[in-house]
Amino acid sequence: MTLAWIDLRTVAQQHVEGVVDAAIHSRLHGVVSDDPAVLATLPPTIVSVLVGEEEGFTGITATVVADQAELDALVLAAGDRDNVAAWVDVRDDRTLQLACAAAVALPYSIVWFADPTKIPLEIVLAAADRAPGKLFTVCGDIEEASIVVDVLERGSEGVMLAPKDATEVFALSRMLEATSPKLELATLIVDRIEHHGLGDRVCVDTCTHFEEDEGILVGSFSTGFLLSCSETHPLPYMPTRPFRVNAGALHSYVLGPENRTNYLSELHSGSTVLAVNSEGRTRRVVVGRSKLESRPLLSITAHSVDGVVVSLTVQDDWHVRLLGPGGKVRNVTELQQGDELLGYLATDQRHVGIPIGEFCKES
């Protein structure tokens, strides 16, 4: 998970205690201050970051550097210590190059960018790609922090935020926790295939490229989903569309972030779903558009080794595909009884997409 440092230096005095308590409660990585006395009150579970120097201080010390000579002096003084950080304000190409050098040379670097564009951050991330140090990007608010963590698909190792109060600390923590956890996928055995004639199905066009073993989890029942393959694999008569999943009938559930579901019919531009690969790794993807059209449909019914029944209704066409163990691509019109598919089993029923512990029977 992306690390987070909370900067206390501009927090109003009446909110400092609450902000510190929120940072500790949220298990954030560190607290930044220019007052050693404030940092001395922190428990050992959170890192102390001092802007400036203090004899005997054992946490991370951050020194503002304005040119290469100051950076060289800091690197020389740091030696093999692992608790030294450089702070660089990036305002032009010269200071951008200084930030790149700091990110490569030191255990920690803190970078503030004068301009709203994220191109300079991309350059620093690329320069420090193989460096062992950690880069912290100063963010003006939660929205900027959410953008920073996705720059170049990986973001900086950390974000630093000066919150107004404890509420913003908790909001930052929730945003960082929204990164998708790995799912435990199950192998499901096909029981039957049934053809149903005309119905409405949904293609989900996202704002990202899927990998060859990625798709989205879709199912007719809230307790089980099948891994519907993206159109990354070659097809006859048409080009590949690696951003698209021909997902299923409009009534189907699709799994999204934070264990929430939507009906496929509810997706629209700006919605979010989970991209899931054959090993269960997930990532949040944004929907560019949802395309509903009438097509012939078929349904697939499968079961887990524990007897959980999973169903999915999809377009009845060869180019609609599901993923099997190992990322094996299976065309839905060629599925047979006994074939293996990848899926995800959920223990919760759903109410308006939210997991809920109540009795519900689906068939």
Residue 159 has what pLDDT?
A: 94
| DSSP β-bridge partners for residue 293 | 201
CA separation for the pair 299, 290 (Å, rounded): 21
Higher pLDDT, 181 or 9: 9
Q: What is the pLDDT of residue 343?
A: 95
Residue written as tokens 């200071």?
95
Distance separating alpha carbons of residues 86 and 68, to the nearest angstrom? 11
Contact call for residues 299 and 313 (beta carbons, < 8 A): yes
| Joined tokens for residue 145 | 């922090």
Q: What is the mean pLDDT of residues 168-189?
A: 84
**What does each C-alpha distance from 8 to 29, 77, 298 come to in angstroms?**
14, 27, 58
Q: What is the model's pLDDT at position 153?
A: 57
pLDDT digits (tens, 9 = 90+) for 55-84: 889 899 999 999 999 999 999 998 889 999
| pLDDT above 70 coverage of the chain, percent | 93
Amino acid present at 176:
L
* Cβ(96)–Cβ(88) below 8 Å: no
pLDDT-derived band of residue 152, with 50, 70 and 90 as boundaries? low
Other beta carbons less than 10 A from residue 296's beta carbon: 13
CB 6 within 8 A of CB 31: yes
For 69, the token pair is: 């000579």
Residue 281: φ, ψ to 5°: -70, 140
Please state the rounded mean pLDDT for residues 291-312: 94
Give the span between the Cα atoms of 226 and 43, in whole angstroms: 45
3-state SS, residue 54: coil
Token pair, residue 305, equals 């080794």
CA distance 340 to 135: 44
DSSP percent split of the chain into helix, strand, coil, nearest 5: 25, 40, 35
**Predicted pLDDT of residue 342:** 96
Please give the helix or strand (H or E) that residue 64 lies within, else none: strand 60-64
What pLDDT, in 10s, does the model give residues 324-358?
Answer: 999 999 999 999 999 999 999 986 544 444 444 44
Mean pLDDT of the chain: 89
Give the mean model confidence (pLDDT) for residues 104-125: 93
Question: Of the given ranges (144-153, 264-273, 299-308, 347-356), which has the lowest mean pLDDT?
Answer: 347-356
Return all residues near 310 (Cβ < 8 A) that are at least 6 apart: 188, 219, 221, 223, 224, 225, 226, 301, 302, 303, 304, 343, 345
Q: What is the mean pLDDT of residues 245-262?
A: 91
pLDDT at 354: 47
Q: Which residues pair with 276 in a beta bridge?
A: 215, 282
Calpha distance 105→139 (Å, rounded): 23
